[in-house]
């Protein structure tokens, strides 16, 4: 069965600190997709990144970077020089590949509440 674990329930940092959000997943599928979503206080789910299981390249997008390690089944997310606007709940999610659809259902972790203090 698929499972996503975000062990950090809450993280507090001061502005400009770097912060890493951990994500560990379980799946028996050889092809799968990993995602990060941001949920600001307004409640919507904002897509941040998708990573395919066959692509272990790390990715950087501005202050955001992602470290995908298949060997440890981890897909960690780092925010560099955090800002108050980064305060949100961050969800890691896993999807299998499905016949007839690129994506199957998303399995979400419980989320990490990040608070960035000024």
Partner 1 sequence: EPEVTQTPSHQVTQMGQEVILRCVPISNHLYFYWYRQILGQKVEFLVSFYNNEISEKSEIFDDQFSVERPDGSNFTLKIRSTKLEDSAMYFCASSGEDGYYGYTFGSGTRLTVV
Q: Which of 28, 41, 44, 71 binds partner 1 (CB under 8 A)?
A: 44
Q: Which of 35, 66, 77, 90 binds partner 1 (CB under 8 A)?
A: 35
Q: Report the residue number, 53 or 95, with the smaller CB distance to partner 1.
A: 95
How big is the CA angle at 47 (ends 43 and 51), to the nearest 5 degrees? 145
Task: Select from 10-18, 30-38, 53-61, 79-87 the region that touches partner 1 (CB under 8 A).
Answer: 30-38
Q: Could you count the other beta carbons within 10 Å of the beta carbon of residue 35?
A: 21
CA–CA dist 106, 61 (Å, integer): 23
End-to-end CA distance of the chain: 41
CA–CA dist 21, 42 (Å, integer): 21
Q: What number of chain residues touch partner 1 (CB under 8 A)?
A: 25
Task: Select from 10-18, 22-30, 57-65, 88-96 the region that touches partner 1 (CB under 8 A).
Answer: 88-96
Is 71 within 8 Å of 78 (Cβ atoms)?
Answer: no
Q: Which residues bind partner 1 (CB under 8 A)?
A: 33, 35, 37, 42-45, 47, 50, 91, 93, 95, 98, 100-111
């Amino acid at each position: 069965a698929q499972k996503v674990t975000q062990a950090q329930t809450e993280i507090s940092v001061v502005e400009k600190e770097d912060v890493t959000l951990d994500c560990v997943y379980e799946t028996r599928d050889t092809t799968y997709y990993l995602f990060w979503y941001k949920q600001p206080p307004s409640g919507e789910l904002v897509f941040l990144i998708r990573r395919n299981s066959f692509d272990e390249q790390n990715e950087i997008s501005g202050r955001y970077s992602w470290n995908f390690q298949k060997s440890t089944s981890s897909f960690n997310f780092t925010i560099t020089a955090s800002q108050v606007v980064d305060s949100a709940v961050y969800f890691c999610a896993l999807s299998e590949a499905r016949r007839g659809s690129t994506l199957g259902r998303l399995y979400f972790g419980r989320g990490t509440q990040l608070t960035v203090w000024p």
